Amino acid sequence: MAGHRMSSLPVAQFCGASAALSAKHGAGRAAAMSSAFHALLAGDAAGDRERGRLARLTPEELAEIQTWKRPPDVIPHPTITLPLHLAKHETEHALSKDGYPCDPKDALTVGHSDLLFVVDVESTGPDVGRYAVIVDFKRSTFTTEDGPESLQLLAYGLSAALESHCTHFQVGIWPLTDGDGMEWGPVYETQSFEAAAIWERIREAASSSPTEYATGPHCRRCYGRPHCQEYLLPVSDPAAALAPLSVPGGLTAANAPEVLALYERAKVVMELVKDNLEAFAEREPIRGADGKIWRKVTCANGPSFNGKAFQAEHPELAQKYTSPGKGTRSMGFRWTK
């Protein structure tokens, strides 16, 4: 492969270095869990290879993927239902530097979609034609900022459409841990100006220089940021960056973004420090001056109430004691549009 992987494109379109750093320090465990989830979906039909993926997870990771929501039959349009058992799982897609499907070893960019359906539409509703429908699994609706318009998913969709001679393609996201259902992007015609513009974006992102760094809001989505010197540069001189906090009224609208950037970057470094300390403490005790030992402890959780099971067993009682609009809420700060 000459360029960057499709999964790197959403950040690589802004910073070429992100792809190389993410490949080295990337979402290894997340990818392993996602692959293992396909084995769970296959159930008894899973082969030795798929079952092997389950065996490679930690007990905590295995417990987590068992709580993930299984996707239902896929309904990209009210007149089309695609039964899950007809999906192709983890399909490899490869596009050449000219934008054609090709052998992965000759490709500019390569990726694997979670679910792929190819369906011929002959009825009323959507335009008649052959559709490539991609469903990608994301842990949560917050995992991908661009939603179904993510360049990664559009690359899967366009590749699948070209590979299967489809007239149209559409991509959707199935959130594994939250959300109300599938989130769909628009339907694209494969031979259209929109699809040509998507290819241009894919080509540019996949070809971006792996030695050129460009910091920006996209850094928050970069798996390589704990290892990126550009991103962590402000942390190397925290005294200068924190100077505004040392005087009353020193934090202003003008310097708050810079201080917040330092806070976010320092958090990334501290997470790394914590991971290392935890790994160290698993091997040998970390003893404080007072003789206490910093170690992993098991906390007993009290019994929990399974609201969903109660609702299924006693729907009338559940409704009687549910106050509409008074669900629990938590407050927090996050980047929003």
If the CB atoms of residues 194 and 275 are measured against ligand SF4, the closer one turns out to be 275
| DSSP code per residue over 135-173 | EEEESSTTS-TTGGG-HHHHHHHHHHHHHTT-SEEEEEE
Minimal distance, residue 210 CB to ligand SF4, in Å: 10
If the CB atoms of residues 13 and 164 are measured against ligand SF4, the closer one turns out to be 13
Pairwise CA distance, residues 69 & 308, whole Å: 14
Q: Which of 221, 108, 84, 219 is nearest to 158 (CA)?
A: 108
The helix/strand/coil state of 332 is coil
> Site map for ligand SF4, 6-35, x if CB under 6 A?
-----x---x-xx--x--------------
If the CB atoms of residues 91 and 208 are measured against ligand SF4, the closer one turns out to be 208
Minimal distance, residue 255 CB to ligand SF4, in Å: 21
Minimal distance, residue 232 CB to ligand SF4, in Å: 8
Pairwise CA distance, residues 98 & 206, whole Å: 12
113 binds ligand SF4 (CB under 6 A): no
Q: How many C-beta atoms surround the C-beta of residue 190 within 10 A?
A: 22
- In the chain, the DSSP E strands lie at 74-77, 80-82, 88-95, 109-121, 129-138, 168-175, 183-184, 188-189, 286-287, 293-294
If the CB atoms of residues 15 and 36 are measured against ligand SF4, the closer one turns out to be 15
If the CB atoms of residues 21 and 65 are measured against ligand SF4, the closer one turns out to be 21
Segment 202 to 221, residues that bind ligand SF4, using CB under 6 A: 213-215, 218-219
> Site map for ligand SF4, 222-251, x if CB under 6 A?
x-xx--x-xx--------------------
Pairwise CA distance, residues 256 & 251, whole Å: 6
If the CB atoms of residues 129 and 226 are measured against ligand SF4, the closer one turns out to be 226
- What is the distance in angstroms between the CA of the first residue and the CA of the last residue of the chain? 35
Site residues, ligand SF4 (CB under 6 A): 11, 15, 17-18, 21, 213-215, 218-219, 222, 224-225, 228, 230-231
